[in-house]
Structure 1
C-alpha cells in the first residue's frame, strides 16, 4: 500500500569531532562521512522503490548552509525526483527556515512552512492518495511552544479544503470527505523530556496519541528509539554519528504500511564512520603479550565492511600490570601499537578501527581477605571500613568528610545528592583497594 523512509538530523555541514593524529588517507574519508551517508539514503530509497522520504529536521548543522552541503542535498533530491519519490522536509533548531535560507528544490519536494502545521497527500505509484502527512518547520533556532497541540485532529479534511481546482486526487475524482488515510506527523522536538537535550517543541506522548495519527516521524534526538507502537512514535536518530558520544549504527527506518493499515519497520544502517565505546576486562591478563593480544582481539570484533570504525577502549579490572599501566608508558605503547596496526591496514586498502582513546581504569591485584585477617595497619583499615559499610548514614558521613574541602562547591554537592547509596559504596570499595595497594608495598602480611 505505502512505503516511506523516515530519516532525521542529517547535519550535512557538521564535521566529525574528537579525532587526532590522522593519516592523510583518513582525512578526506572523515570529511565526506556525512555526505556519504546522505548518498546512501538516496540509493536506499531508489532501491526499495519508496513512495516518499520524510526528513524530520536539522538537514544542516547551522543557520548558514554551505553551498557544498546544499548542492549535495539538491543532487540527491533530483535523483529522488527523477525516480518518482516524493520528499517532505521540516526544518529544526539547527537549520530554521528563514527567508534568506529558502531554496528552490526539484519537483516532488515539499518544505513545510513555519506559521502553522500544514497537510499534504502522499500518493502511491498508481497515483492514488494513500497517506496524509502533517508537519511544521522552525522559523527560529529555539522553539519552546508545544506545537504538536496545533496539529489538526483530522488532517484529511484540511487537505481537502486546501486542494486547488484541477489537482489530481487518485484517478481524478475528488477524495471522499469521509475517507480516512494513513496519518503521519512530522515533528522536530522533545517528547516526554530529555535531560541531556534542549527542550525544543516539548510535548508528551499523550499529546501525540490523542491526535489519532498512525506514525509520528520524530527528529532532534540522535539516538534512535521506537517510543511506542500503535501509534508508532519513533525517533530515527541521525544518519551519521559525529563523535564518541554517538555510538553504534546510524541510519533510517523503512516503513511499510500494509493494506490493513498496520505498519512494519526495518532499520537500515547508512553510516560511513561508526563510533564505538568499548571495555576490555583485565581480570585474567597477567603479561604484556596477553594484554596486547586481548586488545587486538577486542578491536577485531569492531570491524565492519565498507565503513571506517573509530573506537575508545577502556581497560578495566584487576591485573598484575596495574602499576605499569598507571605509570603511563605501557598504555602509550599499547595505543601506539594499535595505531600502527590500523595504519598498515589502511595502506593495504582494508577497513580500519582507528583509536580515539585508550583509557586505563585498572586496579591492583590485592588479596583483601588475607589483609583483612592480618595484624597490620592495612588490615585495621579494612576492618574499620567494613564497620562503616554496615550503615548507610556512616558511608555518607565518611564521603562527606573526605570531600570536606570541596564542601562549598554547589554543583558537586548537587551531583553527590543524585548518587545512590550503591554507587557511594562502590566508591568506598574502590578507594579501599587503592589504599591497601599503596600500603602493601610497605607492609607485610602477618
Structure 2
C-alpha cells in the first residue's frame, strides 16, 4: 500500500511584504502553493497511491476564497476519479464547518473528526489491505486540551493517526494547538502518525513512525529550503513503513551570508551581491551582509532599495529574486570600554518586549499587519539587530571624527 502525507498547504496565503516584485514574479509566488498542491496530486496519480492524508491548514483562513475552494475541489475530484482515498482534517487556520467545504461528496473523500470530535474510519486499499485512520478537525482556531486521551487503542488493522498539533512546551501560552506529549503519542503505538502545523519537515520518532512533512510551499524567508510531501509505502505482510520526501514547491527560499572585510566600491559590491552560487530553480534570496561597517552610507542606502534588488535579480536564472537584505555590523566591538558599557546598558533597557510594544503602538493602530509582526520573534530580533547596527555605526562615526593623530 502507498500513501501520501501532506500538510499546511495554506492556499490563498497572501505572501505579505513582496508587493515590490514585478507583476509576473508576484503572480508566480501567489500561485506557488496551488502549483505545489497540483504537483502532489500529480505524484499521487503517477504512483497510484491508495491514500492521501491532508493534516490541516489546507486553506490559509476559515473563509477561503471561491477561487481556492474551487481549485481544491477540482484537485480532490482528480484523486477521487482515480479511486484514491482522501482523508482530510481542518487545522487552526482553516477551522471550518464540514458543510462549508465545496468538495463533491464521494465515497473516496472523508473529512475526519468534524466538530473537534476524535473519529476513526476503517478503509480498504485496492489490494484488500485494511487500515484505520483516526483524528479530529478544528472548529475553533485554538484547542487548549490534549486530545490524545480520546484516541482509541490500536486495532488489529494498520493504524494511521492524523492530527494538527504541536508538542507541549514550558510556555503555557503557546499550548493552544492540541498540545501533546511525545511519549504519550508513542505509547499509542499507531503504525504511522501524520502530523501537521509545524512548517519544518521533521521526524519525531522512527518506531512508531511519527512525521511532520512541513508545509508544501515556503511563504517567507524563515521557511527555507525544499518543500513538498512524504510518499509512504507499507509492506502489507510485515506492516513496516518507509517514507521518502518529494519536493514539489516551485519556489524555494534561501539565506546567503556575504562577508565584507574591507571597504569596497560599488562595482565590487554588486559583484559580491550577485555571487549567489549555483541556482537550479526559482529561488528567493535573503542576503545577510556581515561586516556592514565597511559600507558607506550611500552604499547602504543603495542596497536597501528594492529597485536595486530588482536590478540584481535581472541577472539571476529561473526568474530568481533578491527579496530581502539584512545588515550585520561588528562596529560596536570597536567601541572603547566606557562607550561599550553605555551601549550595552542602553540595549538592556530598550530591547525589552514591553518597550518594543510601546514603541510600535501607534504603528499598530494604523496597520493590521503590524499587530501580527509585533508578535513575531524573528521580526523583533531583526529590528533589534538593525537598531544595534545603525547606532553602533553612528557611534563609530563619532569616534572617527574625534580621533586625533
Question: How far off is 1:237 after superposition?
Answer: 1.5
Counterpart-to-counterpart distance in 1, 2:392 and 2:95: 53
**Unaligned runs of at least 5 residues, structure 1:** 157-179, 369-377, 389-394, 414-426
The structure having more radius of gyration, on CA atoms, is 1
Structure 2 gap segments, 5+ residues each: 358-386
Structure 2 residue aligned with 1:26: 25
Match of 1:312 in 2: 286
C-alpha distance 204-126 of structure 1, shift in aligned 2 (>3 A): same
Scaled by the length of structure 2, the TM-score of the pair is 0.80
* Alpha-carbon separation, structure 2, partners of 1:444 and 1:323: 23
Please state whether the residue corresponding to 1:351 is helix, strand or coil. Answer: helix
Q: CA deviation at 1:126?
A: 2.0
Mapped partners of 2:210, 2:149: distance in 1: 15
1:339 corresponds to which residue? Answer: 310
Counterpart-to-counterpart distance in 1, 2:215 and 2:9 = 6
Structure 1 stretches (4+) deviating beyond 6 angstroms? 427-434
Instruction: Give the drift of 1:271.
Output: 1.3
Q: Is the 8 A contact 2:21 2:310 kept in 1?
A: no
TM-score, length of structure 1 as denominator length: 0.73
Structure 1 residues 408 and 138, CA gap change in structure 2 (3 angstroms): closer
Q: Aligned residue for 1:372? A: none
Work out whether 1:42 is the aligned partner of 2:41: yes
The equivalent position to 1:263 in structure 2, one of 233, 241, 247, is 241
Distance 2:262 2:351 in 1: 40
Residue 398 of structure 1, CA deviation: 7.9
Find 1:204's aligned residue among 178, 181, 196: 181
Query: What is the CA deviation profile of residues 55-77 of structure 1, one whole-angstrom value per residue up to 9, with x for unaligned ones?
Result: 01111122213222121111111
Describe the shift of the 1:225–1:192 C-alpha distance in structure 2 as closer, same or farther (beyond 3 A).
farther
Moved more, 95-104 or 65-74: 95-104
**Which residue is 1:175 aligned to?**
none
Give the 3-state SS of the residue equivalent to 1:21 in structure 2. coil
Shift of 1:332: 4.6
What corresponds to 2:113 in structure 1? Answer: 113
Deviation per residue, 1:325-344 (Å, 9 max, x gap): 44x2x4257x5444124347
Going from structure 1 to structure 2, the CA distance change for 1:198 and 1:411 (only over 3 Å counts) comes to: farther
Change (3 A) 1:409 1:149: closer
Aligned to 2:150: 150
Give 1:77-92 correspondences, 5 Å limit. Answer: 77-92=76-91
Distance across 2 between alignment mates of 1:271 and 1:97:
26
With 102-111 and 87-96 compared, the bigger mean Cα shift is at: 102-111
1-structure distance, mates of 2:7, 2:59: 10
Task: Name the counterpart of 2:270.
Answer: 292
* C-alpha distance 336-141 of structure 1, shift in aligned 2 (>3 A): closer
- Give the deviation of 1:5 after TM superposition: 0.8
Residues 332 and 204 of structure 1, relative CA distance in 2, 3 Å threshold: closer
Partner of 1:127: 128
**What CA distance in whole angstroms lies between the structure 2 residues aligned with 1:341 and 1:400?**
39
- Following the alignment from structure 2 to structure 1, what is the Cα–Cα distance between the partners of residues 119 and 347? 59
* 2:250 paired residue number: 272
The reply on whether 1:136 has 2:114 as its aligned counterpart is no
The 1-side partners of 2:196 and 2:206 are apart by 17
Report what 2:61 is aligned to.
Answer: 62
Distance 2:345 2:274 in 1: 42
Task: Output one character per residue of 1:263-320: Cα deviation in whole Å (capped at 9) or x when no partner.
Answer: 222111111222233321112663332221121112x44x333xx3222212112664
